[in-house]
Amino acid sequence: MLLGFNGAGKSTLVNRLYGKDVTKTQANRFSDGKGRYTTTSKFLHQLPYGALLLDTPGTRGVGMNSSASEIAESFSDIAAFASHCRFHDCSHTREPGCAVKSALQSGELKQDRYEHYLLLKREAMSWEEVMWQRRKKDKTLGKVLYQYRRREGKHV
Ligand SMILES: Nc1nc2c(ncn2[C@@H]2O[C@H](COP(=O)(O)OP(=O)(O)OP(=O)(O)O)[C@@H](O)[C@H]2O)c(=O)[nH]1
Ligand SMILES: [Mg+2]
């Protein structure tokens, strides 16, 4: 499977490995060299000698789609320290009585693990926010559609 940013050259590789042009490629934008989103859906190519190669639309970025609670599961050592924090909703960054920061100071918790935890938690929280906004939008759209159909006397 070929994965990569737009314009990385995935489809060019498919064509080269196939031996002829079986899929469209496109020159990157002249102004900033970025790819143009040429392949728009995934396609499984069977190469002449039998190999199967999946070409995919370029990615714009790579991220996580885990919830904050899944992050806590992966960092069960930090969750164990966190259960002794003074505040239930401690962010483990600046609150007094934070057991995670104490573990950091005593060396029980390594600095890089702590930093990875904060980074992934932040990413998970922004992912949850995106999902929440998306659900809210879908709900609003659903309501509008429902009212429209009722007004038009359509079956709902
Ligand atoms: N200089 C150079 N250009 C390349 C190379 N591979 C691909 N290209 C050029 O890069 C441009 C984009 O290539 P594509 O194969 O369309 O890229 P892609 O990854 O399939 O892009 P999307 O389908 O948008 O995700 C084309 O103009 C290719 O000719 C390479 O190794 N060197
Ligand atoms: Mg492509």
Domains: count for the chain: 2
Query: Do residue 142 and residue 74 come from a single domain?
Result: yes
C-alpha dist (Å) from residue 82 to 78, 79, 98: 6, 5, 7
Reading the chain (156 residues) residue by residue, the pLDDT tens digits are 999 999 999 999 999 999 999 999 999 888 888 888 899 999 999 999 999 999 999 987 777 777 888 888 889 999 999 999 999 999 999 999 999 999 999 999 999 999 999 999 998 888 888 888 888 888 888 888 888 888 887 665
**Does pTM top 0.85 for this prediction?**
no
Expressed as residue numbers, the domain containing 36 is 10-55
User: 124 in a domain, yes or no?
Assistant: yes
Residue 62 lies in a domain: no
Whose C-alpha lies nearest to ligand 1, atom 21?
7
Same domain, 77 and 134: yes
Residue 4 lies in a domain: no
16 alpha carbon, closest ligand: 1
Same domain, 93 and 50: no
Give the separation between CA 156 and CA 153, rounded to whole angstroms: 9
Give the Å distances, CA to CA, from 131 to 58, 100, 128.
Answer: 22, 29, 5
What residue owns the CA closest to ligand 1's atom 4?
9
Q: Check whether residue 73 and residue 140 sit in a common domain.
A: yes
Q: Is residue 63 part of a domain?
A: no
User: What CATH number did the domain enclosing 140 receive?
Assistant: 1.10.40.50
Which numbered atom of ligand 1 lies nearest the CA of 14? 15
